[in-house]
């Protein structure tokens, strides 16, 4: 994947249902930003549906899209997790988890039927929540004299940055997230200010 300035994700949970020959498939879409939050959401769904036959899922995390996992949870290999991931990828989404819960209806659907059902439940869940475009951010640590706070904040607002954390003493330290595509400019402007130190936070991974 090339480095992009924006990515797409969802910000609201959504659910949808698909039925085929008596089997019921309930799709849940969640915004997640870590493996820990994925585990929490999967456990929530399992608690909601303790009697379901299968809890299949797929997620893709991170801007590079390299962190993903699929699970068929006992369904024939490749018939559930992959089709769910396919729906996340067809919309080019990241930081998204889709869990599809199945209640078996007594009639075997066969692998093509299962692929269609899991794909449909995932697609319907993703269709019921708005997709949002987010800017790719770069984190900076800015150290400065307290008297320059207003100037620093003016630059942050001007470039749609946000403050992640701050320590305010006589000499202040602030962790900022700024649009990656404007990072060089912002860095230059901040360094032009007197007694201001700026350092880039290396991205994880």
Confidence at residue 72, expressed as pLDDT on a 0 to 100 scale: 98
- The reported pLDDT for the residue numbered 3 is 58
Half-sphere exposure of 64 (CA within 13 A, CB side): 5
User: pLDDT digit of tens for each residue in the chain (205 aa)?
Assistant: 345 789 999 999 999 999 999 999 999 999 999 999 999 999 999 999 999 999 999 999 988 888 999 999 999 999 999 999 999 999 999 999 999 999 999 999 999 999 999 999 999 999 999 999 998 999 999 999 989 999 999 999 999 999 999 999 888 999 999 999 999 999 999 999 988 999 998 764 3
pLDDT of residue 197: 93
CA dihedral (141, 145, 147, 148) positive or negative: negative
Closest to 7 (Cα-Cα) out of 129, 139, 136 = 136
Instruction: Identify the pLDDT of residue 1.
Output: 36
Residue 65 is predicted with a pLDDT of 81
Round to whole Å and give the CA distance between 174 and 18: 48
Predicted local distance difference test score (pLDDT) of residue 169: 85
Question: What is the per-residue pLDDT for 2?
Answer: 45
First to last CA, the chain: 15
């Amino acid at each position: 994947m090339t480095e992009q300035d924006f990515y797409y994700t969802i910000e609201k949970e959504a659910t949808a249902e698909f039925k085929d020959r008596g089997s019921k498939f309930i799709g849940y879409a969640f915004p997640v930003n870590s493996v820990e939050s994925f585990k929490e959401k999967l456990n929530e769904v399992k608690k909601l549906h303790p009697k379901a036959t299968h809890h299949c899922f797929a997620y893709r995390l991170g801007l590079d899209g390299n962190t993903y996992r699929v699970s068929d949870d006992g369904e024939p290999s490749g018939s559930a997790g992959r089709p769910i991931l396919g729906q996340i990828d067809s919309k080019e989404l990241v930081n998204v988890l889709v869990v599809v819960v199945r209640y078996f209806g007594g009639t075997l659907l066969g692998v093509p039927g299962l692929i269609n059902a899991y794909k449909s439940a995932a697609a319907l869940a993703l269709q019921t929540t708005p997709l949002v475009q987010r800017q790719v951010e770069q984190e900076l640590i800015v150290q400065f004299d307290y008297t320059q706070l207003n100037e620093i904040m003016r630059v942050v607002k001007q470039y749609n940055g946000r403050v992640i954390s701050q320590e305010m003493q006589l000499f202040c330290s602030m962790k900022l997230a700024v649009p990656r595509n404007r990072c060089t400019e912002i860095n230059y402007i901040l360094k032009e200010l007197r007694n201001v130190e700026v350092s880039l936070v290396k991205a994880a991974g």
